[in-house]
RNA sequence: GUGGUCGUAGCUCAGUUGGUUAGAGCGAUAGAUUGUGGAUCUAUAGGUCGUGGGUUCAAGCCCCAUCUUCCACCCCA
């Protein structure tokens, strides 16, 4: 058989031991903070029924879903018409609908696109077993059939925290605290941007275009990247009247202190109930945060939009201040995500940390602690069968004391064994030959400084115990 | 989905207007050194030039397709 070149699918990656140690460091920090705030873990399957996933992420999202081909002869039961259509209908629209029809028949499962929608499904399915408000965290990979580029992968890990079954704004505050705690622990300076969908709805209402909410937000979101001219162009393109745009512009360029933004917007929203409600919510959250004194900066940013269609209240996005990377954490409140699965009136709020992007940023800024680099702390050199037996007992003692340790598997040349320790960055080596066995004093070498001394097993254990 | 970009040894990269047997550095392995790693020296191994077609007397180099990498747009973590 011909040898095939090993490879993995586009946008996926292997992680070597070094990378995994660092990734686990991130997961550990995140998990610990989640737990401290009283969240509990769940997991859901990598694949969901397509009916669960479709239509939850907007039109774009549907296209980015990885679909799983049915097992068996998936062409069975497919109407002849689908194949017959091929020749006769060639225009693009028909191809589209034919594809949609075909997909529905040959694929009924898909890989999850995020953790929030599966969570909503989970909550509805297990509603009778859960205690509400239900606080859960979930750290698992998700998949998107996107084109890979900087900070964008087809398989990546999300770390979600959500609470469902309460509309208390205390949870918004709690999530901001979680963000602050995690990034502080990771040593990453971030900006927490906050906004509220109701504020955005209020803006659309106040400029007389309530039906254009999505168009307005999508365009607005690009303000810092594209600039006012481009945003205006896009708004025109999306069918907004000049009058509306004129009203919108002063709001978009709103700068300065949070207090001033509130004053301007309160006046702006005098006829918009939803806008005022959004402002009220924002005010509550921001006052709490101000009082709590977070380590990281936060800001009320009305240009923050966030695409996912299910958000209804607060929206949150976090950016690293010292690295060029998209958002590394985002989320918001969704008032009725469970409604579609038959459980209405269940408000939830949650955020998602993008582990892979956080990794890239920490790596770029050299923020991974040195101490996590090596796993094994001490290596026993192997001098032969007798010595082996002797060392195995000492090894068991060290391991029982919680010291990661190992023995070289054969009595190879010392050079080779030392090199092994060196390359694995094992900080200490114990040499136990016949001399040492007789005297009971082991040769203990520090690989970093190069110095070595004779010690008893007890002394070594003490040195290695922190 | 749209536009661009990259691919030669494990890694980073040379490779002339298309012309014999495709090179270097680092790394790896072995030895110099039989109880001591990092430094030095010596030797050795390692390549279907991403893949598949095509043009040509001749292709790493030119053409087409395809896969992959990276980047921008769209969208997003």
Per-residue model confidence as pLDDT tens digits over A96-113: 677 777 888 888 999 999
Question: What pLDDT does residue A371 have?
Answer: 72
What is the Cα gyration radius of chain A? Answer: 29
pLDDT of residue A306: 75
**Nucleic acid strand B within 7 Å of A442 CB:** no
Alpha-carbon gap, residue A178 to A3, rounded angstroms = 50
Confidence at residue A233, expressed as pLDDT on a 0 to 100 scale? 86
What is the per-residue pLDDT across A343-392, written as a single tens digit (0 to 9) for each?
A: 999 999 999 999 999 999 998 888 988 777 668 999 999 999 999 999 99
Q: Alpha-carbon distance A253 to A245, whole Å? A: 12
Q: What are the start-end ranges of the E strands in A1-116?
A: 40-41, 47-49, 67-69, 107-111
Backbone angles phi, psi at A159, to 5 degrees: -115, 100
Q: Where does A75-228 show beta strands of DSSP type E?
A: 107-111, 134-143, 155-164, 190-196
Please name which of A127, A122, A116 lies closest in space to residue A56, comparing C-alpha atoms: A116
- Kindly report the bases of strand B lying within 7 A of a protein C-beta atom: 1-3, 28-31, 33-38, 48, 50-51, 67-77
Instruction: State the pLDDT confidence band at A92, using cuts at 50, 70 and 90.
Output: very low
Q: Which residues contact A37 (CB under 8 A, 6 or more apart)?
A: A135, A161, A174, A177, A178
Could you give the C-alpha distances from A123 to A131, A169, A255, A339, in angstroms and in order?
10, 20, 40, 11
- Using one digit for the tens of pLDDT, what is the confidence trace for A54-75? 998 888 889 999 999 888 887 7
CA distances from A45 to A42, A118, A399 (A): 10, 9, 36
Measured CA to CA, the distance from residue A47 to residue A66 in angstroms comes to 9
DSSP-derived secondary structure letter, A346:
-
Which nucleotide has its C1' atom closest to residue A147's CA?
B1
What pLDDT shows up at residue A95? 61
pLDDT reported for residue A91: 47
Residue A67 Cβ < 7 Å to strand B: no
Q: Which nucleotide is nearest to A437 (CA to C1')?
A: B35
pLDDT value at A90 more than 50: no
Cβ of A148 near strand B (distance < 7 A):
yes
Token duo for residue A42: 């769940």
Distances (CA, A) of A197 to A11, A59, A96, A300, A395: 32, 20, 33, 12, 60
Mean pLDDT within A7-24: 89
* Count, residues in chain A: 466
Report residues 243-302 of A contacting strand B, contact meaning Cβ closer than 7 Å: none
Residue nearest to nucleotide B77 (CA to C1'): A354
> Residues 347-376 of chain A: which lie with beta carbon within 7 Å of strand B?
352, 354, 356-357
Q: Mean pLDDT across chain A, nearest whole number? A: 90
Q: Give the pLDDT of residue A307.
A: 64
Average pLDDT over residues A232-255: 86
pLDDT, average across residues A296-300: 94
Q: Which two tokens stand for residue A185?
A: 């622990």
pLDDT at A249: 86
Check residues 8 to 37 of chain A and report those whose beta carbon is under 7 Å from nucleic acid strand B. Answer: 9-12
Distance from residue A178 (CA) to nucleotide B42 (C1'), in Å?
Answer: 59
Please name the residue whose C-alpha is nearest to the C1' of nucleotide B33: A415
Q: Determine whether the distance from the CB of A92 to the nearest atom of strand B is below 7 Å.
A: no
Residue A145, pLDDT > 70, answer yes
Query: A132: which DSSP letter?
Result: S
The whole-number pLDDT of residue A80 equals 61
Closest residue by C-alpha to C1' distance, nucleotide B50:
A5
Burial of residue A413, with CB atoms counted within 10 A of its CB: 0-12 exposed, 13-18 middle, 19 or more buried: exposed
Q: Does residue A181 lie within 7 Å of nucleic acid chain B, judged by its CB?
A: no
**pLDDT computed for residue A82 by the predictor:** 58
Residue A226: its pLDDT value, please?
78
pLDDT in tens, A395-450: 999 999 999 999 999 899 999 999 999 988 899 999 999 999 999 999 999 998 99
| A152 CB-to-strand B distance under 7 Å | yes
Q: How many CB atoms lie within 10 A of CB A308?
A: 18
Whose C1' is closest to the CA of A63: which nucleotide?
B1
- Mean pLDDT calculated for residue range A290-315: 89
What would the mean pLDDT of A21-28 be, rounded to a whole number?
93
Higher pLDDT residue, A298 or A6? A298
């Amino acid at each position: 058989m011909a040898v095939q070149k090993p490879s993995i699918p586009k946008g996926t990656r292997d992680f070597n031991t070094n990378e995994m140690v660092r990734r686990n460091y991130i997961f550990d920090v995140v998990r610990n903070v989640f737990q401290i705030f009283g969240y509990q873990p769940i997991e859901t399957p990598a694949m969901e029924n397509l009916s669960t996933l479709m239509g939850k992420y907007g039109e774009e999202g549907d296209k980015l879903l990885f679909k799983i081909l049915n097992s068996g002869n998936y062409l069975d039961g497919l109407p002849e018409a689908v194949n017959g259509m091929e020749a006769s209908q060639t225009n693009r629209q028909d191809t589209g609908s034919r594809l949609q029809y075909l997909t529905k028949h040959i694929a009924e499962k898909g890989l999850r696109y995020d953790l929030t929608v599966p969570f909503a499904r989970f909550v509805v399915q297990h509603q009778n077993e859960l205690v509400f408000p239900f606080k859960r965290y979930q750290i698992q990979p998700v998949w998107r059939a996107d084109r890979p580029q900087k900070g964008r992968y087809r398989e990546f890990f999300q770390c979600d925290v959500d609470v469902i079954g309460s509309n208390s704004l205390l949870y918004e505050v709690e999530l901001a605290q979680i963000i602050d705690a995690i990034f502080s622990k990771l040593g990453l300076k971030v900006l927490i941007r906050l906004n509220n969908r109701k504020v955005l709805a209020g803006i659309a209402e106040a400029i007389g275009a309530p039906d254009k909410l999505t168009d307005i937000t999508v365009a607005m979101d690009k303000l810092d990247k594209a600039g006012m001219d481009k945003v205006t162009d896009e708004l025109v393109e999306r069918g907004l009247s000049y009058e509306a745009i004129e009203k919108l512009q002063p709001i978009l360029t709103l700068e300065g202190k949070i207090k001033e933004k509130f004053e301007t917007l309160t006046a702006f929203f005098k006829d918009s109930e939803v806008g005022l409600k959004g402002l009220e919510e924002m005010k509550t959250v921001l006052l709490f945060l101000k009082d709590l004194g977070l380590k990281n900066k936060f800001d009320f940013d009305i240009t923050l939009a966030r695409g996912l269609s299910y958000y209804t209240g607060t929206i949150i996005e976090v950016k690293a201040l010292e690295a060029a990377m998209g958002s590394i954490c985002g989320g918001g409140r969704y008032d009725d995500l469970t409604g579609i699965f038959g459980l209405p009136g269940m408000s939830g709020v949650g955020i998602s940390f993008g582990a892979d992007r956080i990794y890239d940023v920490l790596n770029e800024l050299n923020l991974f602690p040195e101490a996590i680099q090596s796993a094994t702390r001490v290596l026993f050199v192997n001098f032969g069968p007798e010595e082996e037996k002797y060392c195995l007992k000492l090894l068991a003692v060290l391991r029982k004391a919680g010291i990661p340790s190992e023995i070289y598997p054969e009595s190879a040349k010392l050079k080779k064994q030392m090199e092994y320790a060196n390359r694995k960055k094992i900080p200490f080596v114990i040499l136990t030959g016949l001399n040492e066995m007789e005297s009971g004093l082991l040769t203990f070498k520090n690989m970093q400084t190069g110095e070595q001394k004779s010690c008893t097993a007890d002394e070594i254990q003490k040195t290695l115990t922190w």
